[in-house]
Amino acid sequence: MKTFNRVSVVGLGKLGSPMAACIAAKGVEVIGVDLDAQKVTAIQQKRPPVYEPGLAEMIQKAGERLTATQNLSEAVRNSEATFIVVATPSQPDGHFSLSYVLPVCEVIGEVLRTKEEWYTVVITSTVSPLSMDEQIRPTLERVSGKKAGKDFGLAYNPEFIALGTVIRDFLNPDLVLIGESDTRTGDLLEAFYRKILDREPAFARMNFVNAELAKLSINTFVTTKISFANMLARLCERLPGADADVVTRALGQDSRIGGKYLKGAISYGGPCFPRDNLALIAIAQRMGVVAEVAETTDRFNRAQNRWLADFVYQHVEIGAKVGILGFAYKAGSDVVEESPAIYLARYLSEKGISLCGYDPVAQENARRVLGDSVEWMSSAEACIENAAVVVIPTPWPQFKGIAPSVWQPIARTRKVIDCWRFLPELAQLTRVQYIPLGQATMAVALPT
């Protein structure tokens, strides 16, 4: 089936830039659009506007097929479809704001008013249920004077990606979720993905509200799975001989459960999981439905931050310095939003604990949040050598290459709290007290 040969991508942030580069690298002409002149200039100069592994290489592969502009109207006039990938900030009640989406729709609507050929508008930004039918569709129809599904196509097509693996996730999805105004739009979008993806995914096509709810439901179910694994980790820490990895590995072998995201460790964070969970709770409350599973997951996850902080605090002797290795909410990203390490640093600092810290990618972002409450080190080795207690909240692969001699102090014992159990070899060092979370090897009574 015929599909798009030239598209525009509005929003060149953490998802938009990799998405634009991937599409262009697959042979489609892409016009990136952003109000931020620096992001536009970066694309024009073939540089990544944001941090994401593999993005620089993908931009080079895209070559001249990838361009950028600040002029949205021009981009719409010169393309066959627009993917809107702008921010949808969470509001105090948990719903997502459309304060960036709707102005983009108004500009697109103005161009659609005079555009004779069929055009497709794709909302990739995550939105709350009923947003498409109650706000986005009416805005486009009002400004354009045309009808979605009759005069132009409209789709809700959120991506399921994780920062640090955006390119792999975008090109190799398990599922492509499409909420469509009409069959023609869904067919065009499905054909487009079949043209550019590296694998054959499942396609789930439906109306807008079902797609909106499905997006939030998938992420909320994953957070529930993470929290269940973390609950098991806390239980294993108290049961003699128990090991969270052994237990969750067995659970993952059951096809009804599966092993993905079943790693008992510490809280989930980042820009998607926490707020998608809250958004599902918000729409349930609006509809008068009790969403107790989602509410409990969110409450448990936030309590885990305090649990970790209390646990670390109990291992700190008077006058000892604590080193924190890793501030990003996950390895492979520079994002510190909702990061357990940020909460930990704030808590210990308020308790008067001296802190040093290092992150190979997210250090500047962490410094903006924590300021001089942390002594920022130039390397992981320097952080370790300056600390009596070392906590590893983010399992960066770079930490695996640190020489054993660095971990082992000369005249004292160093405590290492490994939140992800990814440095088990430290247990063999004579002057290192290795404390892996999720195993029954704790040195002191656990906080309740």
Which sequence positions are flagged as catalytic?
272
Q: How many CB atoms lie within 10 A of CB 241?
A: 9
CB atoms within 10 A of CB 220: 22
Q: Report the alpha-carbon distance of residue 15 to residue 355 in Å, rounded.
A: 33
**Segments in 26-152 forming alpha helices (H):** 37-44, 55-62, 72-77, 101-114, 131, 137-144
Distances (CA, A) of 396 to 31, 227, 359, 402: 34, 21, 8, 11
Sign of CA dihedral 251, 256, 259, 263: negative
Which residues, at least 6 apart from 11, have a Cβ–Cβ distance to it below 8 Å?
A: 33, 34, 84, 85, 86, 87, 100, 125
CA distances from 421 to 150, 394, 397 (A): 56, 11, 13
Three-class SS of residue 203? strand
Q: Give the residue among 353, 354, 359, 361 at the shortest CA–CA distance from 325.
A: 359
- Measured in degrees and rounded to the nearest 5, phi and psi for residue 192 equal -60, -45
Say if residues 163 and 335 touch (Cβ distance below 8 Å): yes
List residues bridging with 6 in a β-sheet.
29
User: Which is nearest to 192 in space by CA: 28, 32, 76?
Assistant: 28
DSSP type of residue 21: H
Amino acid in the structure at residue 438: G
**C-alpha span between 277 and 298 (Å, rounded):** 7
The residue whose two tokens read 């992420």 is: 219
